Structure 1
Amino acid sequence: MSRLVAVTVTLAVMAAGCSSMKPTATDPAPDEPSSIRVATFNASLNRPVAGQLVTDLSGEDAQARAVADVIAANSTDVLLVNEFDYSGQDAVTLFNDNYLDGQYPYSFTAPVNTGVDSGLDLDKDGELGGPGDAWGFGQFPGQYGMVVYSKFPILTDSVRTFQNFLWKDMPDSLLPRDYYGEVADALRLSSKAHWDVPIDVNGKTLHVLASHPTPPSFDGPEDRNGKRNHDEIRLSADYISGADYLYDDNGVRGGLEDGASFVMLGDQNSDPVDGDSVAGAIAQVLDLPRVQDPAPGSAEHGTDTADFADPTPGDLRVDYVLPSDDLTVIDSAVHWPSGTEHPSDHRLVWVDLEI
Structure 2
Amino acid sequence: MNRRCTTFAAIGAVVAGTALTTPATAAGGEPAVRFATFNASLNRPAAGDLLADLSTPDDPQAAKVAEVVQRARPDVLLLNEFDHVEGGAAVDAFRDNYLAVGHHGARPIDYPYSYTAPVNTGVPSGMDLDHDGVVGGPGDAHGFGEFPGQYGMVVLSKHPIDEDAVRTFQGFRWADMPGALLPDDPATPEPADWYSPEELREVRLSSKSHWDVPVEVGGRRIHLLAAHPTPPNFDGPEDRNGLRNHDEIRFWSDYVHPARGDYLYDDAGRSGGLAPGARFVIAGDHNSDPVDGDSVPGAADRLLDAHRVRDPEPASAGAVQAAHDQGGANAEHRGPARLDTADFSDDAPGNLRVDYVLPSWPLRPTGSGVFWPAPQDPTARLNDASDHHLTWVDLRP
TM-score, normalised relative to structure 1 = 0.90
Q: Distance in 1 between matches of 2:129 and 2:342?
A: 29
Partner of 1:103: 110
Q: Distance in 1 between matches of 2:75 and 2:41?
A: 20
The letter for the 2-side match of 1:181 is S
Contact 2:113 2:156 in 1 (8 A): yes
TM-fit CA distance, 1:32: 8.2
* Selected match of 1:304 from 321, 326, 340: 340
Contact 1:275 1:313 in 2 (8 A): yes
TM-fit CA distance, 1:300: 3.8
Q: Secondary structure at the match of 1:186?
A: coil
Partner of 1:267: 285
Q: Secondary structure at the match of 2:193?
A: helix
* Selected match of 1:258 from 276, 290, 294: 276
Contact 1:208 1:265 in 2 (8 A): yes
TM-fit CA distance, 1:289: 3.7
TM-fit CA distance, 1:285: 1.6
User: Which of the two has greater helix per residue?
Assistant: 2
Contact 1:298 1:334 in 2 (8 A): yes
Partner of 1:64: 62
RMSD between aligned alpha carbons?
1.2
Q: Secondary structure at the match of 1:152?
A: coil
The letter for the 2-side match of 1:291 is V
Q: Distance in 1 between matches of 2:374 and 2:303?
A: 30
Instruction: Give 1:37-116 correspondences, 5 Å limit.
Output: 37-59=34-56, 60-88=58-86, 89-101=88-100, 103-116=110-123
Q: Which has the larger radius of gyration?
A: 2
* Selected match of 1:221 from 237, 249, 261: 237
Q: Cα distance 1:298–1:56, how it changes in 2: closer, same or farther (>3 A)? A: same
Q: Distance in 1 between matches of 2:59 and 2:93?
A: 12
Deviations 1:207-253 (A, max 9, x none): 00000000000111111000000000000111111411000000000
Deviations 1:48-105 (A, max 9, x none): 0001100000012000000000000101100000000000200011101111116000
Runs of 4+ aligned structure 1 residues displaced above 6 Å come to none
The letter for the 2-side match of 1:168 is A
Q: Secondary structure at the match of 1:226?
A: helix
Unaligned runs of at least 5 residues, structure 1: 1-30
Q: Secondary structure at the match of 1:309?
A: coil
Instruction: Give 1:1-355 correspondences, 5 Å limit.
Output: 33-59=30-56, 60-88=58-86, 89-101=88-100, 103-176=110-183, 177-182=192-197, 183-242=199-258, 243-301=261-319, 302-339=338-375, 340-341=380-381, 342-355=384-397
Contact 2:253 2:307 in 1 (8 A): no
Contact 1:34 1:202 in 2 (8 A): no
Q: Distance in 2 between matches of 1:300 and 1:70?
A: 14
Deviations 1:304-352 (A, max 9, x none): 0000001210000000000001011000001101233421000000000
Q: Distance in 1 between matches of 2:176 and 2:193?
A: 17
Q: Distance in 1 between matches of 2:48 and 2:178?
A: 38
Contact 1:136 1:190 in 2 (8 A): yes
Q: Distance in 2 between matches of 1:232 and 1:288?
A: 14
The letter for the 2-side match of 1:267 is D
Q: Distance in 2 between matches of 1:68 and 1:225?
A: 31
Q: Distance in 2 between matches of 1:34 and 1:240?
A: 26
Partner of 2:16: none
The letter for the 1-side match of 2:169 is F
TM-fit CA distance, 1:284: 1.0
Q: Distance in 2 between matches of 1:121 and 1:198?
A: 37
Q: Percent identity?
A: 62
Q: Distance in 1 between matches of 2:69 and 2:276?
A: 33
The letter for the 1-side match of 2:308 is R
Partner of 1:8: none
Contact 1:233 1:284 in 2 (8 A): yes
TM-fit CA distance, 1:181: 2.4
Q: Secondary structure at the match of 1:198?
A: strand
Q: Distance in 2 between matches of 1:145 and 1:272?
A: 25
Q: Distance in 1 between matches of 2:173 and 2:77?
A: 28
Q: Distance in 2 between matches of 1:114 and 1:236?
A: 20
Contact 1:306 1:346 in 2 (8 A): yes
TM-score, normalised relative to structure 2 = 0.80
TM-fit CA distance, 1:184: 2.4
Unaligned runs of at least 5 residues, structure 2: 1-27, 101-108, 184-191, 320-337
Q: Distance in 2 between matches of 1:206 and 1:125?
A: 44
